[in-house]
Amino acid sequence: MGDTARTTYVLVDGENIDATLGTSILGRRPKSEERPRWERLLQFVERQWGQDASGLFFLAANGELPMSFVQALLAIGFRPIPLSGGANQKVVDIAIQRTMEELARREADVVLVSNDSDFVDHVDTLLDGRRVGVMGFTEFRSSAFLQLAPRGLEFFDLEYDVNCFNERLPRVRIIPIDEFDPAQFL
């Protein structure tokens, strides 16, 4: 898509986003129509930064591989990375951290799709002149990421910036007055 050979790697912490959506926003397991339209992430990042985006979707697959989900990810351009490990291992976090360490040695930009503070140090390391973003749900994003904003960290909201959902989620947020539409509340 972009004119340069540079790539943005989009690292999706599937567990974190799914848990935030189900537990913190909906208070129940999301229905299929309430789940993110993952293809919109890659399209958004390519438009936003004007270069190709490569999506890596990390998921815990202890036991069995969710083949229909894996096939759907492949069809929309993501590379699924199913992981397994011991009961006390956060395999998705470990894999994303290792991937960020490898990306620090390469010429590439990075968007992390997670609200998790476990990645703050790795994101900090990546802020070496490259473009780095964190995408998730603004009100649930770890506040530890805010300290990195002056160094150039960009923030994106899955619903409000990326328009990643077909239906409006029941979220409470601070509304800039220029975006306030009373019809949404009546």
Q: Encode pLDDT of 32-50 as tens digits.
A: 888 899 999 999 999 999 9
Q: Which residue has the tokens 């140090």?
A: 121
Select from 170, 163, 180 the least CA-distant residue to 26: 170
**Strand 78-83 vs strand 109-113: parallel, antiparallel, or unpaired?**
unpaired
pLDDT the model gives residue 179: 83
Q: Which helix (H) or strand (E) holds 42?
A: helix 39-49
The SS3 of residue 123 is: helix
The tens digit of pLDDT for each residue in 83-110 reads 988 888 999 999 999 999 999 999 999 9
- Token reading at 12: 């999706």
Tell me: pLDDT of 61 over 60: yes
Mean pLDDT of 16-39: 90
Q: What H or E segment, with its residue span, contains residue 64?
A: none
Percentage with pLDDT > 90 across the chain = 69
Q: Read off the pLDDT band of 123 (50, 70, 90).
A: very high
Q: What 3-state class would DSSP assign to 12?
A: strand
Secondary structure of residue 81 in the 3-state scheme? strand
No. of helices (H) and no. of strands (E), the chain? 5, 6
- Domains by residue range for the chain, with CATH: 7-185 (3.40.50.1010)
**Which has more confidence, 123 or 63?**
123
The answer on pLDDT for 30 being more than 70 is yes
What pLDDT does residue 167 have? 83
Structural contact between residues 10 and 53, judged by C-beta atoms closer than 8 angstroms: yes
Checking if the pLDDT of 1 tops 80, the result is no
In terms of Cβ atoms closer than 10 Å to its own Cβ (0-12, 13-18, 19+), residue 8 is buried
DSSP per-residue string spanning 31-97? PGGGS--THHHHHHHHHHHTSEEEEEEEEE-SS---HHHHHHHHHTTEEEEEE---TT--HHHHHHH
